[in-house]
Each structure stands twice: as C-alpha cells, then as structure tokens.
Amino acid sequence: MGTEGCCQQQTDSETTSKLVLEAGHNSNDRCCKNNGSRETAETEVPFIPLTVDENDVISGAKEILKVIRSHWDLSTAEFKIFTDGITNKLVGCFNKTPQDDNNTSQNGATDYSKNVVLVRVYGNKTDLLIDRKAETRNIKLLHSYGFAPSLFATFKNGLAYEYVPGVTLNPESVTKPEIWKLVACRMADMHKVSQDNGLTIPSSTRESMLWKKVQSFFDLVPERFSDADKHSRLEKTFLPISKIRNEFEMLYKKLKSLNSPLVFAHNDLLLGNVIYTESLSQITLIDYEYADYNFQAFDIGNHFAEFAGVDEVDYKRYPSKEFQLNWLRTYLESYLGTSQVSDEQVETLYVQVNQFALAAHFFWTIWALIQAEYSTIDFDFVDYAFTRYNEYLSKKDQFLSLDTNTNSLS
C-alpha cells in the first residue's frame, strides 16, 4: 500500500516496468547487488529547497533536473506523468540527447536507462503517515547494502531517484519458482541488515514499529469525516474508532506472544514493490517509506496477503500451505545461512506468518481510513478499507487457531 496507495502495484514500481518498454532494457545498468554486501562509498544526497506544485509536476521536475542533471538539454527532454498512483505523483524524466554514443540496446532500440530520472512528489498530507527523514535515511542505508536504487536528491515534498530496469511482479509471476525463490532470498538478505554508521540501534532497545505506527494511524482517523457520504458509509463499522482500537490491541497481544524475531523490514512488499530483472535472475525491492524494525513474520505475512493483487483483489490467490512451506524453507535457508532447516522451524514460521497476515490487513485498513479523509486523489479508499477489514474478519478465527500441530489452511 504505502503512500503510493493501495494501488501502489500500479505506481512507482509498475512505472518502472513501463519505463523499460519506453526507455529500453539495459541489464548492465544495474544499481543493486544480490549478495547484500555493504558498499563502502557514501554519497551526499543534495537537498533542493523547492516545493513542487502537485498540479504542475513537470515544471517542478525541470527545476530539480537543473540541479542534478545540469548537462541535460531540457528543451529536448521528455516527461511522462504516471497517473496510476493514488497518493503520490510520479514523473519520468527522459534525456533524449545523451552525451555518450553508447545509447543503443542489443536489439537496436534506443536505450535511455542511463538517462532516466524518476521524480516522486508526495501526496497531500502523506507526511502525517511517513517520517520522510527516516525514509531518506533508509534509502541511503539500503542502497549502501545494494538493496535500494540510488537517491539523487530530495526536495521539500518529494525525491528524485534512479530507474531500475525490470518488470514488477503480478499475481501470476509471483508464484513462478524462478521468481519466488529469488524474492524469498532477497527478503531474507534484507532482514539481516542492521543500521550502522552512527545509526545503530542496540538490539536490547529495538522495538517493533507495528504498535507505535498503528497507534499513530488511529490518532489520525477523524471521529467525523468531512465528507458526509464517507462518514455514513464508515460509521457503523469503524466509528467510533475506539471499537477497532480495542480489536487491534487484543490482536497485538496475541501476536507479540509468538516471539517473532525483530528484523529490519520493508513493511510494504506488495507485488508492485518487487522488480524482477530476468536477464540477471535478480530481484530488487523498492519504496522504503515504511522500512523499519518490525516482526519478521509481519513482513512475510504482508507479502503473502498481497498475492491477492490490487486491480482485481482476489483473496483466493492467498498462497496455499504447500506453497508457503516451500517458500518459508527457502527463506530460512538464506536467513539462517544453512540448508539444515528443520520441519519444526518451517512450521513455526508458517503459523507466525499467517497470524501476522491479520495484522497486515489491519494496518492497511487504518491507513485507508486516513486516506479517505485527507487524500485528494480520486480513489475509493472507503471501499478499500472495507476490503481489507472484511478479509481480516474472514480469516481471524481460522488463522488465530493455528498452531504447530493443527496448522492447516483451506
């Protein structure tokens, strides 16, 4: 979901796959490494004291390019606004007159992968949901480990960053063995990252972001929505908000008792935030707005919940037990660094993941309620809140009854 919205699968990440078609696919122009090793070089990211008008993002993008791509001829540059996002706006900036002559791909098509900048302009009030300083820090940190694209610049209400060649996942591709195994290993590698270079948080004082973030979300949900129709639709189910606050508190107590490890998690691994570069057999994770320490099982459970898709949500796509056990074994082999993973370890993680999937539904339900009040994008956030919350209610008893002896899913 993230600040690209519950249709983020159609946002920055899917935009990347669209850029592949328009800008060419250069498998050698790659920003991330698969081994998660730490790059030592640190690059200072410039801050541009500019606020981009969300109604005129191209003019704003040009001002940013004057700073970070001063050699571009903006009179010939092309700009494309991607309208699929429902909380942020994204513009692709294409340098049509690259300085070097090596600008054709193997098939003879023009390759602009070295001459593309993505400029993301934050949506209205999304700063209420996201710690933007933490987001910038996370991108820089994870890029240094080879996980995130390069961050070229930040400005008052957005950032400019690197294009990553590849295609984003969809409900069909995410179940292919050659892809899901890479995703499992990539997530495991990320979960082994720890903040350092002055950002270290001692393990004894680390806390999950889940409780604090959801409580802050609750605080942002109005008791009366400014739109009377929205208020009427939401009133019986979600208002007063104290009703579902209590529900989440009971759920959280249950989940915390599972003792899922705290890891540095992405927390928003919907399919559109996973880019697959086939030529390199490589997975890149993007959009780190919610990255923070969290329960390991939340990150995985949230990812599994996103198998349902976004355009046409279908929770029949939620992965079967057989699929999950294979996925989780691959994940644990990478996370633990051993092929000697026991059935008991896999089964334990299976129970944790499915129960934390409930928390993922809850998380994005409250997120959607906030968007319903503040977002200026034409999207039915109220309907999305109902979609996620109804799935939570539908699976609540089944998932919470799981244990390592009776862990079956229909």
Query: What confidence tens digit (pLDDT) does each residue in 297-331 have?
Result: 999 999 999 999 877 889 999 999 999 999 999 99
Q: Chain-wide mean pLDDT for the chain?
A: 83
Instruction: State mean pLDDT over 167-187.
Output: 96
Q: What is the pLDDT of residues 230-267, one digit of tens each?
A: 999 999 899 999 989 999 999 999 999 999 999 999 99
pTM of the model: 0.82
Q: Which of 25-34, 43-52, 164-173 has the lowest mean pLDDT?
A: 25-34
Instruction: State mean pLDDT over 390-398.
Output: 98
Q: What one-character-per-residue DSSP string does 367-384 give?
A: HHHHHHHH--SS--HHHH
Residue 212 pLDDT class (50, 70, 90 cuts): very high
Q: Are strands 151-155 and 47-48 parallel, antiparallel or unpaired?
A: parallel
pLDDT of residue 287: 85
pLDDT of residue 35: 47
**CATH code reported for the domain at 173-400:** 3.90.1200.10
Instruction: State mean pLDDT over 176-186.
Output: 98
How far is 246 from 242, CA to CA, in rounded Å? 6
The DSSP bridge partners found for residue 92 are 80, 118
Where are the CATH 3.90.1200.10 domain residues in the chain? Answer: 173-400
Instruction: State mean pLDDT over 194-199.
Output: 49
CA distances from 105 to 20, 23, 113, 291, 378 (A): 11, 10, 10, 34, 38
- Position 200 pLDDT exceeds 70: no
Residue 130 pLDDT class (50, 70, 90 cuts): confident
pLDDT of residue 85: 55
pLDDT of residue 147: 80
How far is 215 from 350, CA to CA, in rounded Å? 27
Question: Looking up tokens 């300083």, which residue turns up?
Answer: 133
Start-end of H helices in 293-380:
296-305, 321-336, 343-374
SS3 state at 152: strand
pLDDT of residue 405: 65
pLDDT of residue 410: 46
DSSP 175: G
